[in-house]
């Protein structure tokens, strides 16, 4: 069961149940399988009962994305207290994000599905917000690392952040496409070792 309630945003118990069931449906049937009709059957309540809590499917996904964004903001707030070097802080972010995807693989389909939401401008905008927030956190870490002398300065902090986040995205998407058969923690550690060679001064 996906523990959405561990995130900060306030939802009712029924809203939390609907979001958890939505993520489970995505895990079972893909994001296209997330419909109000399927949700109604899965939860065992009527479709009108779902509409009393969420306007439509998009509003469910928006709330899920908001929860993820809030979780990412919490990680960003913790980062200054973690480790000593920029790489220590990036490793911390990596480990937390990878652990979340391992615990709730359906998040991959939601967070990295801009192409699916391209005709829904509100969802597309929200996903861009989430991705930009994570990239900005990494860029800030790298920029501070450059000032402190432990990150190379011949490549801009923006480009290094793109390399880091792009590598993580590709790794997670590849893991998802391969139906989670690979050890994502081990693969993440190997990627981190390579990124350390790239970003370190």
125-149 pLDDT, tens per residue?
A: 888 888 899 999 999 999 999 999 9
CATH 1.10.1040.10 fits 57-199, yes or no: no
At 102, the pLDDT band (50, 70, 90 cuts) reads very high
* Among 115, 127, 155, 122, residue whose Cα is nearest residue 139: 155
Backbone angles phi, psi at 30, to 5 degrees: 85, 165
What is the predicted pLDDT for the residue at 7? 46
Q: How confident is the model at residue 114 (pLDDT cuts 50, 70, 90)?
A: low
Pick from 39-43, 116-120, 174-178: least confident = 116-120
Residue 108 scores a pLDDT above 90: no
The set of residues, in sequence order, having a beta carbon less than 8 Å from that of 81 and lying 6+ positions away, is: none
What pLDDT was estimated at residue 115? 62
Q: Which residues pair with 151 in a beta bridge?
A: 200
Would you place residue 11 in the very low, low, confident or very high pLDDT band (cuts 50, 70, 90)?
confident
Percentage of the chain beyond pLDDT 90 is: 54
Q: Nearest CA to 161 among 145, 177, 174, 183?
A: 145
pTM of this structure: 0.83
Q: What is the pLDDT of residues 46-89, one digit of tens each?
A: 999 999 999 999 899 999 888 888 888 888 899 989 988 999 99
Locate the domains of the chain by residue range. Answer: 57-199
pLDDT over 60 at 5, yes or no: no
Residue 180: CB atoms within 10 A of its CB come to 13
């Amino acid at each position: 069961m996906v523990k959405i309630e561990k995130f900060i945003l306030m939802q009712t118990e029924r809203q939390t149940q609907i979001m958890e069931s939505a993520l489970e449906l995505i895990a079972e049937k893909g994001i296209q399988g997330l419909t109000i009709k399927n949700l109604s059957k899965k939860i065992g309540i009527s479709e009108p009962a779902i509409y009393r809590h969420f306007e439509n499917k998009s509003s469910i996904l928006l709330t899920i994305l908001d929860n993820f964004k809030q979780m990412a903001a919490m990680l960003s707030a913790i980062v200054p207290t973690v480790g000593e070097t920029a790489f220590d802080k990036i490793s911390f972010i990596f480990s937390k994000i990878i652990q979340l995807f391992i615990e709730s693989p359906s998040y991959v389909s939601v967070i990295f599905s801009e192409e699916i939401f391209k005709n829904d401008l509100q969802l597309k905008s929200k996903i861009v917000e989430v991705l930009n927030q994570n990239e900005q956190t990494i860029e800030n870490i790298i920029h501070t690392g450059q000032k402190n002398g432990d990150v190379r300065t011949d490549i801009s902090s923006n480009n290094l952040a793109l390399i880091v986040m792009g590598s993580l995205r590709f790794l997670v998407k590849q893991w998802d496409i391969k139906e989670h058969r690979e050890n994502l923690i081990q693969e993440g550690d190997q990627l981190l070792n390579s990124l350390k060679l790239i970003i370190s001064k």
